[in-house]
Structure 1
């Protein structure tokens, strides 16, 4: 019975993570009419920076604004390097492919 309870809570936690990522995709698509497949990788990169900061002994309350600032800088870099050149050639597919490529590079 204990294993079943643990599996249920693990499934709920994983489902909540998937829901947050899906909400991000939906919000991006609703506002810009295109998909950003590098979004999950950006989320992973921010979590990795936060985990590294905690491992270095940084306070949690100080870590949160640092990770937000890192996410803003990373988003600006993605927009300059990947999205803006794809918009210039007026290709929605190019934008999608550039975000996938940047996601692969971030891994």
Structure 2
């Protein structure tokens, strides 16, 4: 990934670190202390990996033969929504995707 994505990588590192238990906090996570609920560890993925975002049938160029997914890079989790922040490689746009 290019150097311009370093801030995104740092945000993801901080988010992942805040989901790890710490001995000095009584084996609780900073996320747990802030939000009063345990974090979902299953949501963490490797930053910058290639992933594919599903394209809805209504947004495909050809409903039958159009691309069903677009190639993206994983940038992290969304703070407001349940989903992942993705970068569309071809269009160079952000996406929020749940599946």
Please say whether Structure 1 and Structure 2 have the same fold, judged by a TM-score greater than 0.5. Answer: no
Task: Name the structure with the higher helix share.
Answer: 1
TM-score normalised to structure 2 length: 0.30
TM-score normalised to structure 1 length: 0.28
